[in-house]
Structure 1
Amino acid sequence: MPFNIERILYATDLGPRGPDVFRCALSIAERYGADIHIVHVIEEPSILRNNIAERYISDSVLGGYRESTLEAAIDEIERRLEQFSRSALESAESVHARVAEIRVLTGRPGRTILAEADRVEADCIALGSRRYAGVNDMIIGSVARKVTLRSRRPVFLFPV
């Protein structure tokens, strides 16, 4: 049975090597004529979580601030990812690949990436992996490790 890729979930941490990883995902998408679903997962900054501010600022004010700050951040990240992906597709002169959607989500990155892969019914996941020195070997970054170990679909890891 031939292996076919119709949907790729590209997960980005917005790091400096993210464009390189996207170009790799784009190359795979171009080869198979696949759609790319882009996801970035953010965790609420700790300064806005369970901290001393809750002692002095009412829940309604703090909650409103959290919500508006997070919404503004999500909108800006989505705008930048859309601009970047459009530029990358044009510069690669992509014919068969396309970006189907861009989502910025909140949550735990590993778990959220896997849930998003299930939601879009991705055929594979593409993401960058930082390498950290172990005692006698190199191990992959924590998010990439969680995704790789728990995924039911192929995962393409690109070193960053």
Structure 2
Amino acid sequence: MINNILFATDLGPFTDYTLQHVTELAKNCNASIVVVHAVEPLSSFAQAVVETYLEDPQDNPFGESGSSGMLTNIKHKILEALADQYMESDKDIARIAAIRVLQGKPAEIILRESREQQADLIVMGSHGAQALDGNVIGSVTSKVLQLSKVPVYMVPMMDPQKLHGRTGNLGGATLR
């Protein structure tokens, strides 16, 4: 029985397509949804570049205090976008039990959250936003498929040709 679905998203151009599957599964199973978005930490080089251009090191948006504020902001944007653009009704929104925005490597975050949230099913796309390079599946999806202890429902990436002319927005990411 599926009671708790973990929806892993990179907030890329295929989010709405994958979310259609998540929403229908949740309706059919009367399940709740936990949305998980992983934010990869900056490399030490990137962090050094940011700090070089800051007048006051206390203003670093990626430092200890800025990082938590950034993650909270992303979480609010996700909820707003889901409510405004991607979910059809208040009943769909009510199915969202939690939105987890966490810093770390995406596959590790997804696998850890599936355990902690006691997910019965993980739903994710076959590719991330940047994976229009012809690979069969993306590296994060591949790792989750190999290591998950619960079933993974992988939504195939839409043909990029079909996206031509579509526009939309999720948390600042524009579909084109």
Shift of residue 68, structure 1, vs aligned partner: 3.5
1:46 alignment counterpart: 43
- Report the secondary structure of 1:15's partner residue: coil
> Which whole-Å deviations, capped at 9, do the CAs of 1:33-85 have from their partners, x for residues lacking one?
0000001000123377563667899xx74878512332232122111111123
| 8 Å contact kept, 2:83–2:93 | no
Report the CA distance shift for 1:53/1:15 in structure 2 as closer, same or farther (over 3 A). Answer: closer
Instruction: Kindly provide the amino acid, as one letter, of the partner of residue 148 in structure 1.
Output: L
Q: Scaled by the length of structure 1, what TM-score is found?
A: 0.79
User: Per-residue CA shift, 1:1-60, capped at 9, x if unaligned?
Assistant: xxx100000010010111211111110000000000001000123377563667899xx7
Equivalents in 2 of 1:93, 1:24: separation in Å? 17
| Residue of structure 2 aligned with 1:101, choices 87, 91, 98 | 98
- Aligned identity (percent) is 32
Asked which structure has the greater CA Rg, the reply is 1
Residue 103 of structure 2 corresponds to residue 120 of structure 1 = no
Match of 2:161 in 1: none
The one of 154, 158, 169 aligned to 1:157 = 154
User: 2:77 maps to which residue?
Assistant: 80
The answer to whether the 8 A contact 1:124-1:156 is kept is: yes
Report if the CA contact (8 A) 1:31-1:96 is conserved.
no
- Give the equivalent residue in structure 2 for 1:70: 67
The alignment of Structure 1 onto Structure 2 pairs a total of residues equal to 150
Counterpart in the other structure of 1:144: 141
Is the partner of 2:48 in helix, strand or coil? coil
Distance (Å, rounded) in 2 between the aligned partners of 1:65 and 1:159: 33
| Counterpart residue type for residue 71 of structure 2 | I
Name the TM-score, length of structure 2 as normaliser. Answer: 0.72
Unaligned runs of 5+ in 2: 158-176
Q: C-alpha root-mean-square deviation of aligned residues, in Å?
A: 2.9
